[in-house]
Amino acid sequence: MKKSIGTLLIFISALFWGTAGLFVNTLRDLYGIKEIGIIFGRAFFTVIQLGIFMIMFDKKLFRIKLKDIWLFAITGIGSITFFNFCYYKTMAYTNLSVAAVLMYTAPIFVMIISIFFLKEKINPTKIICCLLAVVGVAFVSGAIGSSGGITAKGLIYGLLTGFGYSLFGIFSSVLTKKGYSAYTINFYSFIFVLISSGLILSDNFVHTIRLYTVSYNPIIVIFSMALLNTVIPYICYSSGLKVVSPSIAIIIATVEPVVAMIIDIMLGHTPTMFEYIGIVIVLFAVLLLNLKGNLKNKAHRSV
């Protein structure tokens, strides 16, 4: 594969990932499906679609060791279910572009966790990146330069999104070192997402299924979300990484919040100048952290 094709694949994946808010808003506002119900539906079709892909191309990808199941459970329940719930909640309390950029604080959390728990060394670049991220979030939230800004709940859920996303990067790195393919990690992680979200739905499970089956439209939307916002972009991203370095890929992937911002504008929300400034500062901090090679446990992009 040529490097130019790999770059294009990563760019396409970022474009698709940026559409998450469009699917979430449609399912929540038009069909009344709650965040955890969206996570359940997305996980259901993701497992089916990714499973079919693995059957078609390499059945060996299904092989795992029983002793490693707890790691897949942590990546699925403790990270993907958690950070997606927080991500969708952030969209409800703020706008799509702000939600997307707060998710991109994940590498900052990885850096902090690595310093305090993995005993990685602190250097000036890490300190600068951390401070830049704090300033950027302050601009995005309205704490600097604006009397408005997002609500406290929106900011908290947004930062929890970044934290949960960072956990996926850390634990998936452990599984990668054990020799598991990224497809295997995501497939089994999403099985646990499906189980955990189904259990959380509990008494509302039947009601959620009814909302999905009231017509063909909700099923089409959630199926499309799994395919276009999850499986296809992840396959493109993984394929692109075969010829493009992770540090370059993260730069290309930052088009994701830009896409979210464009969708925001199309839906009638115009970001303020201070939101623009905050988004640029946060993304610059993330890029600087990756370009300088200061992040050993880079956050793997989840499907």
- DSSP class of residue 267 equals T
Tokens of 272: 């303020």
Q: What are phi and psi of 91, to 5 degrees?
A: -60, -35
Which pLDDT does position 191 carry in this prediction? 97
Nearest alpha carbon to residue 162 among 83, 231, 217: 83
Which pLDDT does position 46 carry in this prediction? 97
Which pLDDT does position 241 carry in this prediction? 81
The answer to whether residues 114 and 297 touch, using CB atoms and an 8 Å cutoff, is yes
SS3 call for 264 = helix
DSSP secondary structure, 149-184, as one string: ---HHHHHHHHHHHHHHHHHHHHHHHHHHTT--HHH
- Per-residue confidence in pLDDT tens, the chain, 303 aa: 678 898 899 899 989 999 999 999 999 999 999 999 999 999 999 999 999 999 999 999 999 999 999 999 999 998 999 999 999 999 999 888 889 888 888 888 888 887 777 677 778 888 888 888 888 888 887 767 665 567 889 999 999 999 998 888 788 888 988 999 989 999 999 999 999 999 999 889 999 999 999 999 999 999 999 999 999 998 898 888 888 876 677 778 878 888 888 888 888 877 788 888 888 888 888 788 776 655 554 545 555
Is 78 buried (19+), middle (13-18) or exposed (0-12) by CB count in 10 A? Answer: middle
Which pLDDT does position 216 carry in this prediction? 93
Radius of gyration of the chain (CA): 19
The residues spanned by each domain of the chain are 3-291
User: Alpha-carbon distance 192 to 194, whole Å?
Assistant: 5
Question: pTM, whole model, 2 decimals?
Answer: 0.88
Give the model confidence (pLDDT) of 214-237 as tens digits: 999 999 999 999 999 999 998 898
Is 167 buried (19+), middle (13-18) or exposed (0-12) by CB count in 10 A? Answer: buried
SS3 call for 301 = coil
User: Alpha-carbon distance 295 to 214, whole Å?
Assistant: 47
* Own/partner pairs, 169-174, CB within 8 angstroms, 24+ separation: 169/106, 169/107, 169/110, 169/297, 169/298, 169/299, 169/300, 170/110, 170/113, 170/297, 171/71, 171/74, 171/75, 171/78, 171/79, 172/75, 172/300, 172/302, 173/297, 173/298, 173/300, 174/71
Give the model confidence (pLDDT) of 230-269 as tens digits: 999 988 988 888 888 766 777 788 788 888 888 888 888 7
Query: Residue for token digits 């890929």?
Result: 249
Tokens of 28: 């929540």
Q: To the nearest whole number, what is the mean pLDDT of the chain?
A: 87
The answer to whether residues 75 and 176 touch, using CB atoms and an 8 Å cutoff, is no
The answer to whether residues 25 and 91 touch, using CB atoms and an 8 Å cutoff, is yes
Compute the C-alpha angle 285/287/292, nearest 5°: 100
Give the model confidence (pLDDT) of 272-284 as tens digits: 888 888 888 888 8
